[in-house]
Amino acid sequence: MSFLISLFIFSNLQAAVLKHEITTPHFKEFEYAEVCKVMGAKDTVLISPKTLTEMECLNKSYTLIDFCLKQFPMEKALTRGFVDLAKKKVICEMSESVMLSVSCDQRDLKYCFNPKKGCEELKKIYANRLEVAHYSMLEKNLNCYFSKHIGESLNEI
């Protein structure tokens, strides 16, 4: 049953991701209640993931990347915030680079009309503080490669 719930939540994400690879990953885990408290929810009784990238605290939704940005304001490798349903934790992910391939099907065609702009939009979801280093269209797939800012050491994480 939890697999079906996970599949439903995952299908409501913004893109049909064919490939999502990260290099030198580093993860920080947080309890649901801590997320709500940090985001300003006064009562943490009714807490649940709304989607894989949003937490609902007493009927108010908070994006998890906003939580991670608050927790790690100086972290240049912060890529995304998401819910790990199996662990029942919120994960803040850091990485040196992200390779993403998205299917340009009817639902996600908006990312493919302008590949550069599409990758910039996907960056907000999958590679928040990284830069778009490369983008391309191959067949019916948008490929985006995100990495640290040019000139930064790869050993900073």
Residue 74 domain flag:
yes
Q: What's residue 15's pLDDT?
A: 56
Number of structural domains (the chain) is: 1
Question: Is 7 part of a structural domain of the chain?
Answer: no
Q: Is 147 a domain residue? A: no
In a domain, 19, yes or no: no
Domain range spanning residue 90? 27-94
Specify the pLDDT at position 1.
Answer: 37
Is 103 within a domain? no
Arithmetic mean of pLDDT, 6-27: 70
Q: What percentage of residues in the chain have a pLDDT greater than 90? A: 69
Between 154 and 118, whose confidence is greater? 118
pLDDT of residue 152: 56
User: Is residue 35 one of the residues assigned to a domain?
Assistant: yes
Domain annotation covers residue 144:
no
Distance (Å, whole) CA 48 – CA 18: 27
Look at residue 82 and tell me if it is in a domain: yes
Contact (Cβ atoms closer than 8 angstroms) between residue 127 and residue 79: yes
